[in-house]
Amino acid sequence: MGKLTTHVLDTAAGIPGKGIRIDLYQLSDGRRALIDTRVTNADGRCDAPILEGQNFKRGKYELVFHMGSYFDTTGIELQEPKFLDDIVLRFGISDADEHYHVPLLVSPYSYSTYRGS
């Protein structure tokens, strides 16, 4: 069975993104259903896969990384409204037997992602 994992790296500070709330939604028929909410640990990862087992299915999903709250804890002074606040990543799972790793590399003014392993 496949699984979904993520991690967050604060590229501006060169550290893992600790204490970041992440919401996972499933998208279907124009609707968005919240599946789970997690918070990253000291390593910038969730303690367990965000999605796995019988709940890990083909389909469209969305991860919402609540970065604005994280940036508030870093001591960096940012103008309001912040350039980046909630970062939304939409992606598809086409094979329910594979591992999908969706990391976020982020700074207050940019981010990137990729399908990792």
Q: What is the pLDDT of residues 41-57, one digit of tens each?
A: 999 999 999 999 999 99
Q: Is residue 117 part of a domain?
A: no
In a domain, 99, yes or no: yes
Q: How far is CA 73 from the centre of its chain?
A: 18
Question: Could you tell me if 89 and 63 are in contact, meaning their C-beta atoms sit under 8 angstroms apart?
Answer: yes
- State the average pLDDT over residues 15-30: 97
- For residue 104, give its domain range: 3-109
**Across residues 12-16, what is the average pLDDT?**
97
Residue 19's pLDDT is 98
Which pTM value belongs to this model? 0.96
User: Does 117 score more than 90 pLDDT?
Assistant: no
Tell me the CATH number at 39. 2.60.40.180
The arithmetic mean of pLDDT across residues 5-19, rounded, is 97
The count of domains in the chain is 1
Q: CA angle, 14 as apex, 78 and 47 as ends, to 5°?
A: 100
- Considering the domain boundaries, does residue 39 fall inside one? yes
Is position 116 within any domain?
Answer: no
In a domain? residue 115: no
| Average pLDDT score over residue span 87-95 | 97
Share of the chain above pLDDT 70, in %: 100
Residue 15 in this model has a pLDDT that exceeds 90: yes
Task: Say whether pLDDT at 110 is over 90.
Answer: yes
- CA gap 60, 18 in Å, rounded: 26
pLDDT range class, residue 115, cuts 50, 70, 90: very high
Question: Is residue 8 a part of any domain in this protein?
Answer: yes
Question: Does a structural domain hold residue 58?
Answer: yes
Determine, yes or no, domain membership for 114.
no
The answer to whether 40 touches 70, Cβ cutoff 8 Å, is: no
